[in-house]
Amino acid sequence: MTTDVSVTLRDGRVVSSSSEAWRLECEARTILKRKDRKEYLEKVRLKRGVDAAVELRNEMLAIKGSKNG
């Protein structure tokens, strides 16, 4: 059984834990911990398309930027 809860995104928005925004942020955070980031993004591009890969890369950059700011 899955429980839907409220979560806070890096930008302060509160969303459902089943939302696309939360999924994207979690995936981006996970990829940032990997050594094969470029390869992963290329697989995303091939499977989900260029727009999805760009969106994921932009989220990764935003997360990295928020840690340095």
Instruction: Give the pLDDT confidence of 43-69 residue by residue, as tens digits.
Output: 999 999 999 999 999 999 999 998 754
Burial profile 24-59: b = 16 or more Cβ within 10 angstroms, e = fewer: bbeebeebeeeeeeeebbeebbeeeeeeebebbbeb
Is pLDDT at 28 greater than 60 in this prediction?
A: yes
Q: Tell me the average pLDDT of the chain.
A: 94
pTM of structure: 0.88
Q: Is 22 helix (H, G, I), strand (E, B) or coil?
A: helix
pLDDT of residue 1: 60
Q: How far is CA 14 from CA 7, 11, 18, 27, in A?
A: 6, 9, 12, 17
Tokens of 67: 């840690």
